[in-house]
Amino acid sequence: MTTTTREPQHPAPAATSLLVACDIDGTLVRTGHPATRAVRHAAAEVRAAGHHIVLATGRSLVGALPVAVQLGLDDAWIVSSNGAVTAHLVRHHYQVTEQHDVDAETAIRVAVQEAPGIRIATEIVGIGYRVNIRFPKGQLNGAQHSAGSLEEFWSNPTPRVALYGPGAYRLVPTLLANGLTAIATRLDWVDVTAPGISKATALEKVRATLGVEAHDTAAIGDSENDLEMLGWAAHGFAMAHAPAFVIAAADHVTGTVDDDGAARALLSLLG
């Protein structure tokens, strides 16, 4: 892995290191686009000052890694799949340090009963997904492997089930009633993970590992799956285009993704 981002030189790192958790889609990047020069520069400034940038995303690990490369994160932590997978990236290699598998059988039985024909994907960490019906290009990160039967989905441990189809959001109440974590990231998309799992639960463990004080944490996000993370951070930044309930959960509001609001928030942490 290589990157063209060049870190600025500072005389000395900050006396106190911050942990800055950053959502990816709608925050650091527009979905389907690379990080802008402004965001790359701001991330480099934060890192050069001695702070930790942790990617905290709903993307799978294989989808988060390219963004880490774009930002020049060669020694960093990644919280992916809405907190179900945590990995430590060092230069060209990563190690999964924690994985919380979901009860895929329950999630899938609910889905096929209430929404026949819905597309199902279960994550294969670091590779891609196992699917019942191929997903359209750009909807999943990594390779797609066809499952021969529904049983194949839950016979292989997975940290997340993705459900895609018209009205998928209507599945959320039943999934929650079955003790699962279910977030409708769009009207046609639901992510299902194990109970009690969120970006915040994973970030708290990363914070303890790094030895960062709770009051030295910040987070930037724009969606429902960022709510717990924004509440966890001592300084929560919501993107200006975020829904009102996400903005209400944050301490600060920055710009939109189109005007590099994440870069503005990152640079504000440098004082």
Nearest-10 Cα torsion for 180, 221, 126, 167: 50
What pLDDT score was predicted for residue 74? 87
CB atoms within 10 A of CB 107: 29
What pLDDT score was predicted for residue 16? 86
All residue ranges of the chain with pLDDT < 50 are 1-13
What pLDDT score was predicted for residue 11? 32
Note whether 30 and 64 are within 8 A (CB). Answer: no
Domains in the chain, CATH or no CATH each: 19-99+197-268 (3.40.50.1000), 104-193 (3.30.1240.10)
Contacts 24+ apart (CB under 8 A), 142-150: 142/60, 142/62, 142/63, 147/120, 147/122, 150/108, 150/112
What pLDDT score was predicted for residue 92? 82
Q: Which residues fall within 8 angstroms of residue 38, CB to CB, at 6 or more apart?
A: 260, 263
